[in-house]
Structures are given as C-alpha cells and as structure tokens.
Amino acid sequence: MNIDAFAYLDRIRGIAFSLPGVTEGTCYGTPGFYTGKKLFARLREEGDILVIYTEERNAWMKKDAAVFYITDHYINSNYMLVALPHVKNSDLEKLMQAAWLKRTNKSIVKQWIDGNNAGKKSIPAKKKL
C-alpha cells in the first residue's frame, strides 16, 4: 500500500466505526468492513480505491464517472469502486451509511435510528442523488 492508503484507511475507519456493530477484518488481503458476517466495504490493493456495496451504483456513476465506477469484475454484483482521492466526504459518508443499512441486521438499524432520533446524527432520507 502507498503512504496515502493509511490516510484513506483512517478516513474510512472514522465513518465505519461511527456505525454500530461494524468490525474490521480482511478481504482479499486488504482491510474490509463488516456488519455481522456481511461485507459492506473494503479497501482495494491499490490503497486509494474503495469497493463498496450499493444498489444505486448507476445513479452514482452517472453523477461522476471519474469517482464512481466499476470494472468487468463487478458487473454482476452490487459493488462499485470509489476513487478515494476525489470523493467528497459527504458522498463517502452517504455511501458507507447506505451500504451498512442494506447489509446490517434490522434490529441494529432500528436501535441506530432510535438513537439518532434522540438527538444524534440523522439517517439521510432516501432521495435521488
């Protein structure tokens, strides 16, 4: 990994660990972020690319194809690649929260929503990009 990879990993960890039930493990030899046993994001070998679960990747890729894209390997999956040097923090947070929401246990999501309604960060409303 290049030296910037450590800064990107810190950025990803900061978002990931703000969500309940997230653990870090490895996936293909790189840091991966899990909710339960389900992967929702991982750093690719290059160190500056994030692989993230999303069911809305076409909208993200349409928004900015230089930042959000796929390779042939990801065509038949719900994963997308994110160029970390160019992604806005707000977009990265939205993506990681959405990936976590889709992959995590519904009781954990309910607890998180209830906690957020008590004055913490709110879940972004589902809306078009």
Q: Packing angle between helix 3-16 and helix 89-103, nearest 10 degrees?
A: 60
Domain ranges of the chain: 3-117
Note the CATH number of domain 3-117: 3.90.1150.30
- Residue 49, Cβ density class (10 Å: 0-12 exposed, 13-18 middle, ≥19 buried): buried
Local structure of residue 48 (DSSP, 8 states):
S
Answer whether 77's CB lies under 8 Å from 53's CB. Answer: no
pLDDT in tens, 66-107: 999 999 999 999 999 999 999 999 999 999 999 999 998 877
Q: Inform me whether the pLDDT recorded for 126 exceeds 70.
A: no
Local structure of residue 124 (DSSP, 8 states):
P
Two tokens, residue 63? 């928004």
Distance CA 78, CA 57 (A): 8
What pLDDT was estimated at residue 122? 47
Its pTM stands at: 0.84
Residues facing 34 on adjacent strands: 23, 39
